[in-house]
Amino acid sequence: MGKRYYCDYCNKSFADNPVSRKTHLSGVVHAQNKRAHYDAFRDEEEILRDEANKRPCRTFLSSGQCKFGDRCQYSHLTNDDKAGLADIVNQKKKLAEMKLQAAPQKVDDDKFIPSLNAWVKRRAEKRAHEDSAETGPSPKQTFSDAIPNYQLAACLISVVNPPPSLLPPTKEELINADYAEWG
């Protein structure tokens, strides 16, 4: 039967050859379906900007329906719809302005570094306290004890022969690895 090409926009499949694909991709129906798909992801500001340039559709305003639907060259938004979109756009702009005003304008390094050092010190004390509370005085941890035990991901268990890049390293491989010094 040969390969088939499936178009997600048109929900249609056809023979996969250059002529068929080019004919389909340059077709009017495909272009309309593709535009309709991406129009669903437009934000309110973009919709309002596009609809502001269009004249109202007389057929849609008089009967509530238009035979062209979303492909109509005229606007199907009423004045109330446009006002609602404008309100949403204005609210989003105000929210963005408020976030900008609330965000710190400049990080003062003289104040930041001491607070960072204090946080690191508190965290180290907390961890030391937690470690001593859990096991009592703990012996020094060796490098091999600190190495985690990696396992194959659950989604790869059913794969018969996974490539080496997906296999988890063993503790022996990590201990015997040649570590280069950076910096």
Asked whether the predicted pLDDT for residue 173 surpasses 70, the reply is yes
Bridge-partner residues for 6, per DSSP? 13
CB count, 10 Å around CB of 24?
A: 16
**0.85 cut: is pTM over it?**
no
- Of the pLDDT bands very low, low, confident and very high (cuts 50, 70, 90), residue 109 is low
Asked whether the predicted pLDDT for residue 170 surpasses 60, the reply is yes
pLDDT 10s digits, 139-157: 555 666 777 788 888 888 8
- Of the pLDDT bands very low, low, confident and very high (cuts 50, 70, 90), residue 107 is low
Nearest Cα neighbor of 48 from 13, 84, 22 is 84
pLDDT 10s digits, 21-38: 999 999 999 998 898 888
Q: Is-contact 10 1, C-beta < 8 A? A: no
Calpha distance 104→107 (Å, rounded)? 7
Calpha distance 174→106 (Å, rounded)? 42
**Three-class secondary structure of residue 67 per DSSP:** coil
Calpha distance 124→146 (Å, rounded)? 17
